[in-house]
Amino acid sequence: IGWIYGSVTEDILTGFKMHARGWKSIYCMPDRPAFKGSAPINLSDRLNQVLRWALGSVEILFSRHCPIWYGYEGRLKWLERFAYINTTIYPITSIPLLAYCTLPAVCLLTGKFIIPQ
C-alpha cells in the first residue's frame, strides 16, 4: 500500500486505508526500544503538536477518506470503523466541552442562570 502522503496525520490515514483494505495490525512493544523519537520539550511545542494532530484529524473527517463513508466494501469491522470515527471527530467535541466548562463560571459570576426558576 505504501505510505499515504498529503495529510498532516499520514500515520492515521495510512493505518485506516490498510485496515479498510483488509490488512491486519498488531501492537508491538519489544523489551528494548526499537525506535527512539523526540517529544516536545516545552508547552509551546506541545500545543503546536496537538493543534497539528487536531487539524489532521478534522482534515481526514472532511476528506474523501472519511471513516463514516469510506471503506464500505466490507473489510472494516464495525469496532474498527467506530475507533477511526472517534479518532477523527475528537477535535470537534472540544467545542461543547468548552461551553460545558465555561458556562457554570459565567452563570456564577453574573448571577444569571440558564434554567428558569
pLDDT in tens, 66-79: 898 887 766 888 89
If pLDDT is split at 50, 70 and 90, which confidence band does 29 have?
A: confident
Output the pLDDT for position 86.
93
What average pLDDT does the chain have? 87
Do 16 and 81 form a contact (C-beta atoms < 8 A)?
A: no
pTM for the full predicted model: 0.74
Q: Is residue 54 part of a domain?
A: yes
- Domain that includes residue 44, residue range: 10-25+40-92
**Total structural domains in the chain?**
1
Q: What is the mean pLDDT of residues 12-41?
A: 85
If pLDDT is split at 50, 70 and 90, which confidence band does 6 have?
A: confident
Q: Is residue 45 part of a domain?
A: yes
